[in-house]
Structure 1
Amino acid sequence: MGHYMLLLKMKILFAVLSLACLQFVSCDFQGDALSSLKNLLNATSTQLTDWNPNQVNPCTWSNVICDSSNNVISLTLSSMSFTGSLSPRIGVLRTLTALTLQGSGITGKIPEEFGNLTNLINLDLENNRLSGEIPASLGNLKKLQFLFLSQNYLSGSIPNSLSTLPNLINLQLALNNLKGEIPESLFEVAKYNFTGNNLNCGINLTHLCASDSENSSSSHKPMIGIIIGVVGGVIVLLLCGLLVFIYMGSCKGNKQDVFVDVAGEVDRIITFGQLKRFLWRELQIATDSFNDKNILGQGGFGKVYKGVLADGTKIAVKRLTDFESHGGDAAFQREVEMISVAVHKNLLRLIGFCTTTTERLLVYPFMQNLSVAYRLREIKSGEPVLDWPTRKRVALGAARGLEYLHEHCNPKIIHRDVKAANVLLDEHFEAVVGDFGLAKLVDVRKTNVTTQVRGTMGHIAPEYLSTGKSSEKTDVFGYGIMLLEVVTGQRAIDFTRLEDEDDVLLLDHVKKLEREKNLDAIVDRNLNKNYDMQEVEMMIQVALLCTQALPEHRPAMSEVVRMLEGEGLAERWEEWQNVEVARRQEGERLQRIDWGEDSVYNQDAIELSGGR
């Protein structure tokens, strides 16, 4: 009996330990898989620096996107210049929907384990140095729509299993060492390209090596290019004639009613990736013909409208105006270019676009809780005010988004209009930095001087306003002002403060109250004293460090993130106070010299103050 009880206890203990192990594994297996990928890719010391193997949750890592349950759903490592190979452990990321690794110099084989990524919609391994055969296990990816394997060294035949993929709409296998038969059903895919291989397709065979919509100039059959060129030229002439006819007709009637979707020059300049191209009519219906009642906001390049697509998806549509004469087309291209380098959970995601002869439109997910500015100052009766824990989360989320733009994008991106109105809130009140319409891609080899200052008064750094020179430190200044907005609930510039003999600028107003140690007067009254004064003090200190007059004195956004997380603030604040005290003492000394008893300025002052 004793042996039986001992055996039973051991079984129970083993079960408990097994459950504990399973729970532990479920927490950190994603981070382990990504860390394994980083190691096998031979990432350098300057690549993926925030991929911390000791951090259980990888959802804050650069180039990684997670859903609301902290499941990794997207991984993008493009043009990274790795020298290593792919890790089979990526196969455990069953929630992954997009894996984009193009142009990164990756060697070795495509792991069979990639066939376990059953939720994958987009697999892009194009323009690497991959070798070996295409794994037959990719036929398990029944949700796959986009498969890009072109410009590698893949060999062998195309596995028949790819012909069983029911949702495949774009298959790119060009410029490899593939040979043999192409499964017949793959010629029915909407877009395909098999050129530059040794496969059973070509001009003299049953099927061409590329679909009609593909550019087959890479094929070794130059006659195809000639044929396409001739046909394309005729089509272009016909299109030009058609557009002239439409334009002439539109001059006689109402120009606003004529919109023609065209391929446009933009499509040939920008690689749109997985962005959806919307029809004009589709967005017109979604926004009720761009009804004013659906306007969410308005900026320098146009208005933003709320819309609902036919499937019920809520969207926000930015309709650019005067793009030809006032930089709107450049703004359109800039925002689309951002997508290729800026993918982060705290940055607004572009989901589609629309171009016509007269229009440029950008389509974003609708942020149901609108902006931080709205929640601070413009909420309707009955809507909740942002509580203090949410404000802290907003501050940290926005900081992480800007840190990603500055330190993890290549080239880095300067937002140039950081303010509470441009920080949006998703359904969970998580901060999402939006509106890249004023953003600027920065090439570190070139000057940072811009000829036209962009931004919002009260948020613009002094050196940017006076010299036109922008840098990531101008964003840090704007972020500091945004922090003050979050704490106080007030605007960056408010002339009503003059009535109370206060400073018009929020920054000066807060500095004055901080010197007087009157922090309670700083905090938003709508919080009804439901906040932690120590945390308020911390956020004000971070804001004041970010808004120092000299840009070189301001912290980098990575430092801001660490300070908000409780690391290094005390030291930076002590340094700042010493500088501020010395600066004020010097100012007072100069004032005493200028206005002393023997000063001519003092005599003038007395004379002017006397009766006349």
Structure 2
Amino acid sequence: MMKSVKLVLVAIILDCLHYLALSDYQGDALFALRTSLRVPNNQLRDWNQNQVNPCTWSNVICDNSNNVASVTLSSMNFSGTLSPRIGVLRTLSTLTLKGNGITGEIPEELGNLSSLTSLDLENNRLVGKIPPSLGNLKKLQFLTLSQNNFSGTIPDSLTTLSSLISIQLDSNNLSGQIPVHLFQIPKYNFTGNNLNCGKTLPHSCESSSNDSGSSKKPKIGIIVGIVGGLIVLISGGLLFFLCKGRHKGYKREVFVDVAGEVDRRIAFGQLKRYSWRELQLATDNFSEKNVLGQGGFGKVYRGVLADGTKVAVKRLTDFESPGGDAAFQREVEMISVAVHRNLLRLIGFCTTPTERLLVYPFMQNLSVAYRLRAVLDWVTRKRVALGAARGLEYLHEHCNPKIIHRDVKAANVLLDEDFEAVVGDFGLAKLVDVRKTNVTTQVRGTMGHIAPEYLSTGKSSERTDVFGYGIMLLELVTGQRAIDFSRLEEEDDVLLLDHVKKLEREKRLDAIVDRNLNKNYNIQEVETMIQVALLCTQASPEDRPAMSEVVRMLEGEGLAERWEEWQHVEVTRRQEYERLQRRFDWGEDSVYNQEAIELSGGR
């Protein structure tokens, strides 16, 4: 028994050291980039070489495993050059440095960024040849090198990038022949260069924005497409007329567009299937300036539909393979029937061979996490806590089959025009896993919010959501993040949960509350919310309350009994923990915080 315990402890420590090593090399690479770019005016001050985790740095986004996934540094007046050290960031999917004054050449090492899907270096002062090593970026979808001073020929290696959707090389000093395969990419622009377009393709240097995802067709193909489209349209119209005659009063609408450039669009009640072109136009071609946020499931873009409706478009980045439209559609329909005032309503969706998108109404007050950075008054925080609890209760106990969120946090609770809490992103874990054949799926969520049993086993339940909700309550009360390495300067508690537990034991409730509230809160209500949060974040999932119980406790029913029971369990747990410390000769000043290791372990 003793030997097995030691082995487990060693494994945990090794995992923690692996995490620190991972953060170290990523941080070093990003710091080298900052140094080479000659960052002015004290920008990127939090890119500190002594701070281990780059995931807390501005303009850096990490995935659920704390790997750097996105670096966006647009229009920040940088000069200098690109450090080749950035080539070690093998998990980087998005690199955006457009609108600066960066000079020098593109390092060959950028070809090592094997996860890169988008590279945007537009409007800089880069020179030299486009490195052939970019042909190694097999996942690359968007390559934008416009408005620089690149010279030489376009490397043939770029023709091997089968995932490429857009290539923008306009306004450079490129010369030579354009590789013919690049004309098959849906969107391209080679104008403003000294390029040879070729005799067989006299207009190919002109920019293309082919929304259907296929290359330009000969005229005979266009004629056949139009004729075929008319036949489909007429047949669809007759079918619609017959169905309408048989089912008077039935509100299920069917729209069939001409096949070809426009996707088929179907509306199931209020759920619509949008074409790729509609959403492309609504978001200004998914412009980075319209990004509202990014998480484990993809980016969210602000958009305006043709009729003026403001929407939020989530572009999913984690589905396995082309196809599976029917399975994806079934899951979308399942989510769309979960209708509750505290749940984000799904408007529609879009699928193409390479894309999955979801369309939601735009929430003008954005997320709770965003609002906590400014000031959110105590009354609103109480209403958010209760509203989010009711939304999760509906998902767990009133949906058939029940829906588990798997990433409950302040960033995923949105605020409508009346500052009413609206839980978003529910069901997405199910959506992106819909075509996987094995039962076990990867752990999804945000570190600091993930329940310990989910980390260790990969199995989620409604009680993993309860844990995440408890952490969100602590975010509401404290205004702090679930993981904050800056606390290392004053104490050992990096995790917000450990920090609050310590202050609660010391009966220092005032020290827990967000200072931005300036003591404008009810201390009894604060105590209630903290107690509910700690009940929700118990280590054993069986001990956590169901969301219906959480709602009742927030409304003032049944909290006292549960809290008294929790205190007894917590005292016993602390005593056992201290006994283990003495047994293994770990003092109070040990460098390892056992609870922190458990919660940030297995990835």
TM-score by length of 2: 0.52
Q: 2:402 aligns with which of 379, 404, 412?
A: 412
- Amino acid paired to 1:547: T
SS of equivalent to 2:333: helix
Distance in 2 separating the partners of 1:587 and 1:354: 51
Evaluate the alpha carbon distance shift between residue 331 and residue 295 of structure 1 in structure 2; reply closer, same or farther with a 3 A threshold. farther
Evaluate the alpha carbon distance shift between residue 329 and residue 511 of structure 1 in structure 2; reply closer, same or farther with a 3 A threshold. farther
Residue in structure 1 matched with residue 350 of structure 2 by the alignment: 354
Residue in structure 2 matched with residue 390 of structure 1 by the alignment: 380
Evaluate the alpha carbon distance shift between residue 275 and residue 196 of structure 1 in structure 2; reply closer, same or farther with a 3 A threshold. closer
- Amino acid paired to 2:311: I
Residue in structure 1 matched with residue 393 of structure 2 by the alignment: 403
Alignment map for 1:49-448 (pairs within 5 Å):
191-193=241-243, 260-263=261-264, 272-321=268-317, 323-325=319-321, 333=329, 336-377=332-373, 379=374, 385-436=375-426, 438-440=428-430
Residue deviations 1:263-301 (CA, integer Å, cap 9, x gap): 49xx7xxx8332123333332222222211110011233
The reply on whether 1:516 has 2:512 as its aligned counterpart is: no
Check whether the contact 1:450–1:470 (CA below 8 A) recurs between aligned residues: no
The reply on whether 1:565 has 2:561 as its aligned counterpart is: no
Residue in structure 2 matched with residue 37 of structure 1 by the alignment: none
SS of equivalent to 1:285: helix
Evaluate the alpha carbon distance shift between residue 553 and residue 361 of structure 1 in structure 2; reply closer, same or farther with a 3 A threshold. same
Residue in structure 2 matched with residue 545 of structure 1 by the alignment: 535
SS of equivalent to 1:428: coil
Q: 2:470 aligns with which of 480, 485, 488?
A: 480
Evaluate the alpha carbon distance shift between residue 463 and residue 292 of structure 1 in structure 2; reply closer, same or farther with a 3 A threshold. same
Distance in 1 separating the partners of 2:323 and 2:571: 45
Residue deviations 1:242-281 (CA, integer Å, cap 9, x gap): 7xxxxxxxxxxxxxxxxx44449xx7xxx83321233333
- Amino acid paired to 1:493: I
Distance in 1 separating the partners of 2:400 and 2:270: 20
Distance in 2 separating the partners of 1:506 and 1:285: 42
Residue in structure 2 matched with residue 100 of structure 1 by the alignment: none
Distance in 2 separating the partners of 1:331 and 1:422: 25
SS of equivalent to 2:542: helix
Check whether the contact 2:313–2:359 (CA below 8 A) recurs between aligned residues: yes
SS of equivalent to 1:541: helix
Distance in 1 separating the partners of 2:480 and 2:364: 22
- Amino acid paired to 2:528: M
SS of equivalent to 2:445: coil
Distance in 1 separating the partners of 2:293 and 2:301: 7
Distance in 2 separating the partners of 1:292 and 1:212: 34
How far residue 565 of structure 1 moved from its aligned partner, in angstroms, is: 0.3
Q: 1:499 aligns with which of 489, 493, 516?
A: 489
- Amino acid paired to 2:419: F
Between the two proteins, what is the percent identity of the paired residues?
82
SS of equivalent to 2:428: coil
Evaluate the alpha carbon distance shift between residue 334 and residue 403 of structure 1 in structure 2; reply closer, same or farther with a 3 A threshold. farther
Distance in 2 separating the partners of 1:346 and 1:212: 27
Gaps of 5+ in 2: 1-236, 432-437, 591-603
Distance in 1 separating the partners of 2:409 and 2:322: 23
Distance in 2 separating the partners of 1:486 and 1:212: 43
Evaluate the alpha carbon distance shift between residue 509 and residue 449 of structure 1 in structure 2; reply closer, same or farther with a 3 A threshold. farther
How far residue 589 of structure 1 moved from its aligned partner, in angstroms, is: 4.5
TM-score by length of 1: 0.51
Residue deviations 1:35-56 (CA, integer Å, cap 9, x gap): xxxxxxxxxxxxxxxxxxxxxx
Evaluate the alpha carbon distance shift between residue 523 and residue 449 of structure 1 in structure 2; reply closer, same or farther with a 3 A threshold. farther
Evaluate the alpha carbon distance shift between residue 287 and residue 590 of structure 1 in structure 2; reply closer, same or farther with a 3 A threshold. closer
Distance in 1 separating the partners of 2:439 and 2:451: 14
Check whether the contact 1:323–1:330 (CA below 8 A) recurs between aligned residues: no
Distance in 2 separating the partners of 1:573 and 1:336: 39
Distance in 1 separating the partners of 2:311 and 2:264: 23
Which structure is larger by alpha-carbon Rg, 1 or 2? 1
Check whether the contact 1:458–1:492 (CA below 8 A) recurs between aligned residues: yes
Gaps of 5+ in 1: 1-186, 200-210, 216-234, 243-259, 380-384, 442-447, 596-600, 606-612
Residue in structure 2 matched with residue 39 of structure 1 by the alignment: none
Check whether the contact 2:340–2:394 (CA below 8 A) recurs between aligned residues: yes
SS of equivalent to 1:412: coil
Higher relative contact order (CA 8 A, sep 6+): 2
Distance in 1 separating the partners of 2:281 and 2:383: 36
Distance in 1 separating the partners of 2:386 and 2:270: 29
Distance in 1 separating the partners of 2:489 and 2:577: 27
How far residue 430 of structure 1 moved from its aligned partner, in angstroms, is: 0.4
How far residue 325 of structure 1 moved from its aligned partner, in angstroms, is: 3.6
Distance in 2 separating the partners of 1:425 and 1:340: 19
Q: Please identify runs of 4+ aligned residues in structure 1 that moved more than 6 A.
A: 194-197, 211-215, 326-331
Distance in 2 separating the partners of 1:589 and 1:462: 21
How far residue 592 of structure 1 moved from its aligned partner, in angstroms, is: 5.2
How far residue 454 of structure 1 moved from its aligned partner, in angstroms, is: 1.0
Q: 2:518 aligns with which of 523, 528, 531?
A: 528
Distance in 1 separating the partners of 2:487 and 2:539: 23
Give the CA RMSD over aligned residues: 3.5
How many aligned positions are there? 343
Evaluate the alpha carbon distance shift between residue 321 and residue 464 of structure 1 in structure 2; reply closer, same or farther with a 3 A threshold. closer
